[in-house]
Amino acid sequence: MTETLTTLRDTFGFDGFRSGQEEIVDAAMAGEDLLAIMPTGGGKSLCFQLPAIIRDGLTVVVSPLIALMRGQVAQMREIGVAARSLSSGNTSEENALAMTEAEDGALDMLYLSPERLARHGMKAFLKRIGVTMIAVDEAHCVSQWGHDFRPEYRMIGEVRDALGGVQVLAFTATADELTRKDIEDKLFAAKPRTFLRGFDRPNISLAMTPRNNGKKQLLDFLAQHKGESGIIYCQSRKRVEDTTDHLRKNGINALAYHAGLDPQMRSNTQDTFLREDGVVVVATVAFGMGIDKPDVRFVFHMDLPKNIEGYYQEIGRGGRDGLPATAHLLYGMGEVRQYRQWIDESDAGEDQKRIERQKLTALVGLCETTQCRRTALLGYFGEAAGGCGNCDICRGEVETIDGTVLAQKALSVILRTREIFGMEHLITVLRGERNPMCDKHGHADLPTFGVGADIPKTEWRSIFRQVYAAGYASVDVENYSRWTVTEEGWKVLRGQQAVTLRKPGKTAKTREAGIDMSDADAALFDDLKSLRRDLAKERDVPAYVIFADRTLIEMASLAPIDENGLRDVHGVGEKKIERYGAAFLGRIKQHKQRSAAA
């Protein structure tokens, strides 16, 4: 075996690389600068951790969040790797120890935040301790076009030059072509070798539903995920607080997280989420970037994200262990109008506004598509895919109809009211409901007045959203959100274009994406989880740092009787056997004895 494969087996407990990892590791080991775009949960961290362990010298890892650094440092130290972090989340003693060990040459890896990197004297310190490689996690933060722009990331290029042009490895899961070019320009002295490893996360079940009593929809969803860890995203602090209170009143262990809370409270929430099973965090997008908890079983959006990159990044926090996870999103047209208004009223240049409008339109199209969601999602990132079988549409949970006539009615009422009214008034006319506005403009005399009286308002709203998403109509936010018919819409009116719509009244009901325990002893699995929880509490680390769920499931399936048997279990390396082997083998033996006695 090569040194990389031996280290992979003995240190990490992995028998081989995941798809796409080996070539990246080989390039890193060869000293090449590289940019790797890999799906969340695709094993990005291993691609810089493994070379850092094997190669001589110190690797500096630039990471955007304290929680991420703490988690990765804990994981590295648990498998016997000399890693430390410098951060405001440490005590002064911990930071002093990290600096001393770095200066003594006793570390393989030193984790830093971009803000810490920008501090006065840090470049001189890094030069003094002999840094040989810089690994940049969440590299999209360097780009003003990215959704998580962090200006301090631009210091990395200066640090690279100050250290004599050391090797740079950059990793991200979300970077369109524009963002990738920005990363290359800001982080590298010359064009790096680029690895584009695809964006698919096939273990995540996708569903999107029009909002109709969102709190009830959320509770119905959570009823399928009892005892599981998950994240619920909201767009505002108020929505976070209201949703958290509602869940607690209904007996759900929910914690709130947003930027308006006390920093210590936010830190405690992160720690609780990382360390305990079955915790639900209700949060704004301030929570989650870099959260490396592998056993997040669901991500639920109470509100529409601002773009597809943000959505992809957020759902990517589910199922990082490769086991099934669920992503469910609620949306409404009001959010689309609000986002468009924010874009139009922002101080951004016209080019940036145009890009943001295109991104929002793409997201609305993803919500209202009647084709496979994964195909549409991956297509946005330039990746071709067929039907996935693991989204609400592929599973037949979203029924469709020939909606050509309904679309023609919607477009016709837009034209007959002279393209100057918003959706609610257009629906009023279609339903034949007289009001002062109808009387003032003579809309009760139009041929379209009342032609949709048999269809409820909620269904008409869905039809209008789908017409908008398909590009048959546009909405002018600056002029009272008036609707107009596009060139594509005229094709529908002339009978040149058929329209497929969701069947009225039908919304998605996601199936439960449970963990596959078919070959495992469920009682033994619970025993092993209990032991893991006790050991994690004793060592003051998150439970997954001891062993991931996948590892416990394999233990419960194989029920090894000795250390050689443990070596056959995914994620069990030599250091883990030394530290925990006796405890877990003892628990398996006790379970077998109880089962035999019964």
> Secondary structure of 485-551 in the HEC alphabet?
ECHHHHHHHCCCCCCEEECCCCCCCCCCCCCCCCCCCHHHHHHHHHHHHHHHHHHCCCHHHHCCHHH
Q: What is the pLDDT of residues 92-136, one digit of tens each?
A: 999 999 999 999 999 999 999 888 888 889 999 999 998 999 999
Give the CATH architecture of domain 522-597.
Orthogonal Bundle (1.10)
Work out the average pLDDT over 397-401.
Answer: 85
User: Lowest mean pLDDT: which of 90-104, 309-323, 370-384?
Assistant: 370-384
Q: Which residues contact 353 (CB under 8 A, 6 or more apart)?
A: 343, 344, 346
Find the mean pLDDT for residues 74-80. 93
What is the DSSP annotation of 109-159? Answer: EEEE-HHHHTSTTHHHHHHHTTEEEEEESSGGGG-TTSTT--GGGGHHHHH
Report the amino acid identity of residue 276: E
Whether 522-597 and 3-196 are alike in CATH topology: the answer is: no
Tens-digit pLDDT profile for residues 18-30? 888 999 999 999 9
Burial status of residue 28 (CB atoms within 10 A of its CB: 0-12, 13-18, 19 or more): buried
Task: Return the biggest CA–CA distance within the chain.
Answer: 87
Q: Which residues pair with 195 in a beta bridge?
A: 36
* pLDDT exceeds cutoff 60 at 534: yes
Q: Residue 34: enclosing H or E segment and its boundaries?
A: strand 34-37
The answer on pLDDT for 87 being more than 70 is yes
The residue type at 117: L
- Domains of the chain, residue spans: 3-196, 204-380, 400-502, 522-597
Per-residue pLDDT at 516: 61
pLDDT digits (tens, 9 = 90+) for 181-232: 889 999 999 999 999 887 888 999 999 988 888 999 999 999 999 989 999 9
CB 314 within 8 A of CB 286: no
Q: Which of 113-127, 258-272, 354-368 has the lowest mean pLDDT?
A: 354-368
CATH number corresponding to 204-380: 3.40.50.300
- Domain 3-196 adopts which CATH fold? Rossmann fold (3.40.50)
Residue 487 is encoded by which pair of tokens? 């060139």
pTM: 0.71
For residue 205, the surrounding DSSP H or E stretch is strand 204-210
Mean of pLDDT values over 69-78: 90
Measure the CA–CA gap between 386 and 408, rounded to whole angstroms: 30
Angle, vertex CA 83, rays to CA 80 and CA 88, nearest 5: 140
CATH, domain 400-502, list 3.40.50.2300, 1.10.8.60, 3.40.50.1000, 1.10.10.10: 1.10.10.10
Whether the CB-CB separation of 291 and 316 falls below 8 Å is answered with no
pLDDT of residue 510: 45
How is 250-282 classified by DSSP, letter by letter? Answer: TT--EEEE-TTS-HHHHHHHHHHHHHSSS-EEE
Question: Rounded to whole angstroms, how far apart are CA atoms 135 and 171?
Answer: 8
The pLDDT-based confidence of 290 (bands split at 50, 70, 90) is low
Length of the chain: 598
d(CA 416, CA 24): 59
